[in-house]
Structure 1
Amino acid sequence: MTEQQGQPEQQPEKKEKKSLSLNVVSNKPHRGFGAGTIDLSQVSCVIIDEGVAYIDDGAMHAKSKVEKGIKFSPDKANTPNGRTCWIVWVAVERTDAGTQYAGVTACEMLIDKEARRGWKILPDHVNKLDAALKRKIKLEELAAEEKAALRKLLTQHNEEWWNHSSDELKQALAPESL
């Protein structure tokens, strides 16, 4: 209270700001303002490089081990000596039967570490990420060695998830289709 007026002092009302930012990599689902717009918490990134597949969630922000320090161009001619690497988007889903690999898509890139140059088509990467989120399997561009490396990683990472996965995924990565 102010002594002169005998009334309580009023504070200006503070408005709560609502942010549009998304926490892309999170352990818990997004709730509140903007909920339902996109949920990437169930997506992981796999890199396939020289026949070896490994998880590298840095690829979500183009900061995977192979992408660091590389200047990318949408023109393939700018990376004449590049080696082919793949980003594979893997969406995981929990069902009544158990957790499974639900959506798996692959995107090509060329990397030339010496020249610090690379090639990738960003809209293709975004569209393939979207397809994985929509539970689609798109792996036909992978060579036999790359499919084998991806299958090995997925089964070793969690064999139970692999066992619960769709027949479509298993057929896409089956040794006989290689």
Structure 2
Amino acid sequence: MADQSSNQKKTNQFTIIKDDPNDGHGGYGIGSISLENMSSVIIDPNDDRAFVDMGAMHARSEVERRVKFQDDKDVVKNGKRYWIVWVTTEKGENGPYFAGVGGSEIIVDRSIKRAYKSMPEHVTHMEKSLKGKIVVDHMDDHSKKLLRDFLADFEGGDMWNNSTDELKSALATE
């Protein structure tokens, strides 16, 4: 009988480990990155809204569903722009704060059920967010304002108040 495991598509390409990945065993998952402090915030400048959608962690957010992704922006010339913002939180001496933020563009054209996103860009922005970097310079001012207002209002604003001046100035709009 032939080995069927080599013929089956590997479906577990990325493992999310919430606890210490080096808890004594040396098996599957060692060296994985913990994403437990990261959330995905969707910025919808078309409808003036921002909201957490953890489905984006697996490319299944509200705006990503029921479309086929392309790697060519020309396919979605008439599409609507959204941002998936990868937000990492940390705990500091004054309490929790927004440590890293990376905004990644997606363009969706529901009329043709197609969308554009650059997976390398999303991965890079996730990684930078995890490392405490702020990557929002490429976002439009309206979207940055929506993000700033969302973060500043989140749970009474304590996390925003505890965040760095770098984040606050990066999201400041003229």
User: What aligned pairs does 1:76-95 form with structure 2 within 5 A after superposition?
Assistant: 76-95=73-92
Same amino acid, percent of matched pairs: 39
Structure 2 residue runs without a partner (length 5+): 1-11
CA contact (8 A) 2:16 2:34 kept: no
1:30 offset after TM fit, Å? 3.9
Larger Rg: 1
Query: Structure 2-normalised TM-score?
Result: 0.82
Structure 2 counterpart SS, 1:67: coil
Which has the larger displacement, 126-135 or 146-155?
Answer: 146-155
Query: Structure 1-normalised TM-score?
Result: 0.81
Structure 1 residue runs without a partner (length 5+): 1-18
CA contact (8 A) 1:91 1:101 kept: yes
- 2: CA distance, partners of 1:139 / 1:54: 17
User: What aligned pairs does 1:12-91 form with structure 2 within 5 A after superposition?
Assistant: 22-23=15-16, 28-31=18-21, 32=23, 33=25, 34-35=29-30, 37-49=32-44, 50=46, 51-91=48-88
Equivalent of residue 134 in structure 1, options 122, 131, 135: 131
1:20 offset after TM fit, Å? 9.0
Cα root mean square deviation, aligned: 1.9
The amino acid that maps onto 1:58 is G
The amino acid that maps onto 1:103 is G
The amino acid that maps onto 2:150 is L
Structure 1 counterpart SS, 2:132: coil
CA contact (8 A) 1:43 1:92 kept: yes
Structure 1 runs (4+) greater than 6 angstroms displaced: none
Deviation readout 1:25-45 (Å, 9 max, x if unpaired): xxx534434455301000000
